[in-house]
Structure 1
């Protein structure tokens, strides 16, 4: 079998695919989706598990994809997700299968997901303050998220926690979340606020920059040192507290863009390929998957998308255009 390496015109090789299984969610985080009247995809437009599995199998077998992350929306609201996990986990050549979730449904689903072959979870939790959680997510679900984290740990998952950092809102959450890392042993990753909200209220002044977060954590807890195990294609740079207790990651999409080493592309729930999280163009894979298209046809379509990838997301330039899709519709 000929291997078709997915390399763009800037020399970046893509071996990391993020697959959105739904645009639906049981929260309404303001940085991700509108508060009301969400226009969800009609069910017939969402890829089936069989279509997703076929595409992933082609990408692994023909293009050298080695990492798959399932996203949403909230992927656990997709019924019988463990069936998809089981199908994907058995594909030869897949080295890493992970899932991003808000954790609310983990108490009910963790065991089945683990039995199906899933081992890694990223759980989103921006704050440990109930009122602020409700302000950010428009739902009173903090206790369910915390229960989901505990269920994941008890089941045996490798867990990381993701927290979106927003200036003027989440500064007071930095220390409590870092202390949670020190007490639990879980890595907490702070993500700079990005322009992917449905209501287009993002402002540059609202970005809580990595430098600011580092300074505050060092002042209030202990010195942080880079851990030195950072792969250039990994969006998170990890630090450890000098006393060895706690691991903190920073995803600095705005202040320290990592586009030069990006190895990721995305498949949306409705079967569109996006070569960048902030892309304004998409390639339709669903029509190919639902026709007589060959594996080679699928590979060619993805190759053409990757070849058209820009040098960077351009957020820090006057050329930046916010995508038409909000985050819940793109997939994290």
Structure 2
């Protein structure tokens, strides 16, 4: 699918649920409650299969399952297998907090999972428990080690927050010395809950790394959200995702299907297009999606939208 700016849109992020087993302070309000075992009241398993299959037929070649927490979706392994075997998509990832991943990661890989992005914002137990409001660091580290061991491509996503984990940047970077993983620092963005801590918590990570000794800049791969760096003699890479200080809109190739059955053409936009009525209508849906893609904006309006009270929290948009 080609948008009106000539970008090839071939990457679909699929949110399976808004629910999560953590309540990270920059993501989900502590008071948000879901019914026990809630997953999704908007899209059925058959709906997900239909949309992924239909989009694979019009140009999607990469799929990443997100949430909320995608591991809460009981049929995630089955959906991954369908995406690979029935849709002929081989670049399949998940974005997860890692809680519960250890127990099922081997099954997910055998179903077709090729990569995993794991959120980890502190390597200190007390800090991790605080920022996640109750998470267990040892569970996440166990999941990371197992994912590496079985040969998945692993990326660690760390939201950099001044006054919280800025003293751990070197510890995170050291993880790349001995394993072929990517540790990516994500710029704090003024979205949802993060707006409450943005002013005092924002760190310009690119500026910090550019002035560090013993590290060299690799650059940014096309369609990547990350600018990469490498420590001397390290096996892995250090990435920086900085949509504010360094936009990657010019070659953005992604769209998002939210857990409510809506297409988001830009992560940082409030605009969503409901596509539930097109489920199981392949001809109409494929033609409609081609028209929808033409509405993808040229760039985000994150800076302009900082003061917006309506900007969704990350768990609602499958970030």
TM-score, L = length of structure 1: 0.88
The question of 1:48 aligning with 2:35 is answered no
Aligned to 2:227: 237
Task: Work out which of the residue numbers 97, 100, 112 in structure 2 matches 1:105.
Answer: 100
**1:134 partnered with 2:134:** no
Residues 271 and 119 of structure 1: is their aligned pair in 2 closer, same or farther, counting only changes over 3 Å?
same
Q: Does 1:309 align with 2:296?
A: yes
Give the counterpart of 1:79 among 74, 77, 80. 74
Matches within 5 A, 1:115-154: 115-154=110-149
Structure 1 residues 111 and 274, CA, compared in 2 at 3 Å: closer, same or farther?
Answer: same
Corresponding residue number in structure 2 for 1:227: 218
Aligned length: 318
Which ranges in structure 2 are unaligned for 5 or more consecutive residues? none
- Per-residue deviation, 1:320: 6.8
Given the superposition, is the C-alpha separation of residues 110 and 245 from structure 1 closer, same or farther in structure 2, using an over 3 Å criterion? closer
Contact 1:122-1:161 at 8 Å conserved across structures = yes
Contact 1:160 1:188 in 2 (8 A): yes
| 2:271 match | 281
User: Displacement, 1:183?
Assistant: 2.9
Which string of whole-angstrom CA distances, capped at 9 and with x for unpartnered residues, describes residues 248-269 of structure 1? 0111111101112111100011
Of residues 245-254 and 322-331 in structure 1, the stretch that sits farther from structure 2 once superposed is 322-331
Residue 192 (str. 1) matches residue 187 (str. 2): yes
CA, structure 1 residues 265+322, in 2 after alignment: closer, same or farther (shift >3 Å)?
A: farther
| 1:42–1:99 distance in 2 versus 1, CA, 3 Å | closer
Do 1:76 and 1:101's aligned partners in 2 also have CA atoms closer than 8 Å? yes
Deviation readout 1:89-129 (Å, 9 max, x if unpaired): 11344241111111111121112111211121111111101
TM-score scaled to structure 2, two decimals?
0.91
1:89–1:304 Cα change, 3 Å: same
Alpha-carbon distance between aligned partners in 1 of 2:50 and 2:119, rounded to the nearest angstrom: 29
**1:44 CA displacement:** 6.0
RMSD of aligned alpha carbons: 2.3
- The one of 139, 150, 154 equivalent to 1:159 is 154
Q: 1:44 to 1:236 in 2, by over 3 A?
A: closer
Partner of 2:254: 264
Query: CA–CA distance in 2 between the matches of 1:113 and 1:318?
Result: 38
- Give the whole-Å Cα distance in 1 for the aligned partners of 2:22 and 2:126: 15
* Partners of 2:61 and 2:200 in 1: CA distance: 37
Rounded to whole Å, the distance in 1 between the matches of 2:285 and 2:295 is 16
After superposition, residues 9-24 of structure 1 pair within 5 angstroms as 9-24=4-19
User: What is the CA-CA distance between 1:213 and the residue it aligns to?
Assistant: 3.1
Q: Does the aligned pair in 2 maintain the 1:314–1:320 contact within 8 Å?
A: no
Please identify runs of 4+ aligned residues in structure 1 that moved more than 4 A: 39-44
